[in-house]
Homo-oligomer: A and B are copies of this chain.
Amino acid sequence: MSEVHENEAGSVANRLGDAENAQERFEIMYSELRDRICMLVYAPGSQLSEEAIADEFGVSRSPLRKALKILEADGLLQSQQGVGTLVTDIDLEELSQVYQLRMELNELTGRLSPSSAQSNLLELFDAMRNRADSLRTQPNRDNFARLNIDFFHAFQELTENLPLRDVSEKLFYQTCRIWLKLIPNMDLSTEVDIFCSEIEDIADAISLGDLQAAALTRRAHLSMGFIRLKKQKDRQSS
């Protein structure tokens, strides 16, 4: 199965071969693994094999293990000797505190060191608007997830406070899987519509140059999204 990867032009192994130093190689492995985890290529609760991944990436276990260790510190993996490396499962209750914090941080994103490069932001959010449009006409699970990730990163540009960005990113990757996990029980079209409206609302605020309004809108949507997730879960368990 991994032969498929090895023969692809932009495979991880190839990219690793082109990398110039250890730091770059680490970054490639780390972001690839994180992407697979939060796109549910590696499902919550599933087991990973260091050897299999190392083979696929064309490296030994040593450098791969560094990336795995960081992902463990991020709360996305859990390793135990004799057992294996497991993708952490996610529970809405446990994520409640993370969501609370993320909401507050989003408000800070509009308030702390607001970005000065307004023209870049306009382009960026116009692109987001376009992607939202095309997603709306053809709702698709993976594209939805991908846009969610990319929109998050666009939103991060609103602040120039780097530590705030780092912190927000970490928390985002702890929570973003919950959507893909629960979306099969929800109506994809509806969720896509709601999300696209959010993107448009925020893009409008950016157009007006009102970063704080954009942040508060984002915060409100995050809050509502969490409530929808909870309602869905309650409906399912009853």
Q: How distant is the Cα of A153 from the Cα of B163 in the complex, in angstroms?
A: 20
* Residues of chain B lying within 8 A (CB to CB) of residue A224: none
Q: How distant is the Cα of A151 from the Cα of B166 in the complex, in angstroms?
A: 25
**Min CB gap A16→B, angstroms:** 16
A104 contacts partner chain B, Cβ-Cβ < 8 Å = yes
Per assembly, the copies of the chain total: 2
Determine which residue in A62, A65, A97, A171 has the highest number of CB atoms from chain B within 10 A of its CB, and name it. Answer: A97
Q: How distant is the Cα of A35 from the Cα of B70 in the complex, in angstroms?
A: 20
CB contact under 8 A between A163 and B98, given known A104-B112, A108-B104, A112-B104: yes
Query: At the interface, is chain A mostly helix, strand, loop or mixed?
Result: helix
* Residues of chain B lying within 8 A (CB to CB) of residue A66: 65-66, 69
Please give 15 more A-B residue pairs, beta carbons under 8 A apart, in addition to A65-B66, A69-B69, A163-B171: A22-B81, A62-B62, A66-B66, A69-B70, A70-B70, A97-B113, A97-B162, A97-B164, A100-B112, A100-B113, A100-B161, A101-B163, A104-B112, A167-B167, A167-B171
